[in-house]
Structure 1
Amino acid sequence: MSLPSRLAVALLGASSLVVACGASSSTPAPEASTQARPAAVATAAPAVESYGYEIIKSHPHDPASFTQGLTIADGQLYEGTGLHGQSSLKRVDLQTGAALQRIELDSKYFGEGIAVVGDRIVQLTYQTGVGFVYDRKTFAKLKEFTYSGEGWGLTYDGQRLIMSDGSDTLRFWNPETQEEIGRLRVRDGDRAIERINELEYVDGALYANIWQEDRIARIDPKTGVVTAWIDMSNLLTATERSRGVDVLNGIAHDPKTGNFLITGKLWPWVFEVKFVRRG
């Protein structure tokens, strides 16, 4: 995302209390027992895992692409880009970085995240509250829809579209109607995780770029709990960073290899990586 406008939202907790009923009023109350009760055992939350990465290969990436969404479907790489007057949806040749297929958005739209849903592609826009549904094969626009707030990242879990808006909250949409069906706040312990950006759903886990951070959060989409942090720092050299690149943004999983494709806005490379557990 290019601009932060976020509200920090307190996380709600829930607890339950079970109360045992005493005897009837006609029965004398027993004397208090002097025997010590066993202490309650606290259950520690699972530790948040830490990962680094191993670069498998570096692929060329169009350095003019302000990457807002990245995903692979049936071996095809799709990319959504942003900026007014430069926003697009592309099918990209991973080996060369060239666009094999492309559609431009009207200059009033700032393109955002994308998701493949069967034979369609869904794309968000930033602050106009308008999304598009395209035919995946022809890129013909099939539908426009509206939503409240900002659009940032988008992915599909096989049943629902999952959308981020730059806050600490994920929204769940019906993939056919794009109607909102739920929300979930994301947290690491008692800390809200804001600025959630590009998303990728893989094997029951949600991977998320955090705007302006060189790390990826792995999130449990059932609970909103961060289960791992993946350190992606130093992918670019100091010289490459000095050439006006923007932030890390772009996660695509290749189910054929198990590897992830990682890039950023205006980056010269798409990095094919494996995540490596630390500790």
Structure 2
Amino acid sequence: MDSVAPHLAVLASRVRFEEKSIMGALERRGAGFEHLDPRSLFVADGSAWTGPALVLNREVGHFRALYAASALESAGVTVLNSAAATHLSGDKWHTSAALLERGLPTPRTALAMTTEAALEALDDIGYPAVIKPLVGSWGRLVTRVTDRAVATAVLEHVAALPSPQSHVIYLQEQVPKADRDLRVLVVGGEALGATYRRGEEWRTNVARGAVSEYCPLGPVHAKLAVAAAEAVGADIAGVDLIEDVDGHLTVLEVNDRVEFRGFQEAHGSRVDVADAIAAHLVARAVARTAARGET
């Protein structure tokens, strides 16, 4: 048990395996915490915040997670990950821009403001390519296009979507790879480990039936994953890497509210993800208390 027992909160509208595991790890470390449901959360402008000074953001919905973090930060709360990190990592274009700014390898990417411009961009990137929604997870609405005719048909459907944000089109080359990609978990600037994710289709999302397998973490993978997490400002992140047929690594995505059940099952007793997150939360809370002279 830690000598200092800070009071924390876990922000989540759904308490899944990951949230239960983190809460259990906090209990074992003697850290007082509460479950903060964003569906009943409000932060009034100018009102004093009387809740925990440090909040772990595990809200599953991107926009609610983003605005909850922003509202809490406006009240002086430390949120992990920060609103800025959620903003960058939750939007695929902002993630790509942050990775490119740091000079990190990532697939060729374009952002088009119209379907006509998207077709021209795809001609430049080349086929096969992938059309993705700016915000989304679990591989939903991610579409592989193999030629201009397929792209034209897909983009007609995109143009018919009701959300104006959907009409801003994110395009990416499809990197030739083996039947797997890699996920590296990063907590507090340290890579905890890696898994291979294998699936029967080209999208290797565990939510779509892909299987996580233990992957020995090499220094190159670890360094790149940590750099990618730092690029979006995330304390806690799942970094998706692709290794092409020549062995070159690229960063595909950075997930700020990462699910880790498959990762944990693949690693077994080698790594305790929830405890690593709990330890980082406690350390950040203690450091905040010391820096501000709080009690």
Same fold by TM-score greater than 0.5 = no
| TM-score (ref. length: structure 2) | 0.26
| Structure with more strand by fraction | 1
Q: Which has the larger radius of gyration?
A: 1
| TM-score (ref. length: structure 1) | 0.27
